[in-house]
Amino acid sequence: MSVKPFKFGRRIFLLITSFLLMAPYRALSRFLARRPLVYLTWRQDPTSTMVVNWMDNDSRSPDYVMYRQLDLPRGSSWTLARGFKHNFADDKKRIIHHVELRGLNSDTEYIFTIGSKGTARGGSYLKFRTLPKSIPSDFRFVTGGDMMHDRKKVDAMNQRAAELNPWFALLGGDLAYANADKKNVSNWEDWLESWMLNCVRKSDGGLIPMVVAIGNHEVAGGTGKTPKDAKYFYSLFPMPDKRSFYALDIGNYLSLILLDSDLTERIDGEQAIWLEKSLSKRFGKMPFVFACYHKPAYGTAKPPSGTKDSSKDPLAQKIIKHWCPLFDRYNVTAVFENDHHTYKRTHPLRGNRIDRDRGIVYLGDGCWGVDTRDVPKPGEVWYLAKAESKRHLICVTIRNGKSDYVAYEADGKVIDRHS
């Protein structure tokens, strides 16, 4: 007996509805949205520029962004900015677009829509806020690394970041755990989708820009490689000077120093020379200078065989020899390390010793959304003031000329606090 068209249509509707209800979050969101994956970065001054990036699968889509200040009267004209696109490294199914917006006003909200099907459909738009030229009374950013073993875990921590309303996120590598392997390219989609859907400031609905360092899981083969071994990472992020170590200055109050801990650039040689010049240039001029990289000098969970002291590792020794004396000499504010899948805070260190008066604190060890590792017991490792096997992000708040560090779990519980 034939099925009437109405009943057939109703059955199809019920089947689709059932599929959506049972589908994983990733499939559901893509089915409903079919939108490009948008993320924000900087190549230069965050008080007057923004780079709008997106991934889609449409090689014919135009490369432009329409934007304007949010507070302008209704009907105000939009500005068009053009950019460029390229294949996502050697992946022909995915296209990466980059459009840099320049000449923006500081500490100002903007709305924008991209020239690609999906986001612009129906007049929908996204938001961001430029950074202030002078430090406000309560300036905040979040930092962490080693982000995505599990989509639910990274979603939860991204949502925690959004609850804290940071100006930006400083990410210390091992972002999508794709290992520069073409078989894992979809990991990048998952990671970008989680960021776009969850890392939206609760205070104003703006996307949270990211400042990124490279990790070993962005590289084919881990450490000691070259940029060509991290083609997906370099394809996603339009770096200043087109390399993995760079500085980003924010107004006249804060500098971020991003380093490559022997992944695609060597610790010594050119990078160490650049680091000294960069720190010297900012010494006495920038009140707050933070360094961030992936492999730690003072780690928690990967000691060499026969010792619990991770600083004895040969790569850690290189950092201690070539970078840490420069951090000491130019009085960096704090150093953020990653890679070990734990939380750590060191005692204040200077000259590879504890110095409670003039030392620098090393924080992090990278456990945003990954499985945790065991840590030494209290007192077992000389440089550790605090170590926990817990997923976390660190919220850095600058207030009254001082920096405050609070490590949060995804549910908002505080692991550690340091001022």
- E-strand ranges in 23-156 read 37-41, 50-56, 64-69, 79-82, 84-88, 91-101, 109-114, 126-129, 139-144
Pair of tokens at residue 387? 């170590």
For the chain (419 residues), the mean pLDDT of every run of 10, in chain order, is 34 37 41 73 97 90 90 87 94 93 97 67 77 95 96 97 98 96 94 97 96 97 94 95 95 97 97 98 97 98 92 97 98 98 98 98 97 96 98 97 97 97
pLDDT of residue 13: 36
pLDDT of residue 25: 42
Query: Which phi and psi angles does 410 have, rounded to 5°?
Result: -60, -30
pLDDT of residue 73: 84
- How many angstroms separate the CA atoms of 237 and 248, rounded? 14
Instruction: Pick left, alpha or beta for residue 41 (phi over 0 → left; psi -120 to 50 → alpha; otherwise beta).
Output: beta
Pair of tokens at residue 205? 């609905």
pLDDT of residue 34: 54
- Give CA 89 to chain center in angstroms: 20
pLDDT of residue 328: 98
pLDDT of residue 120: 39
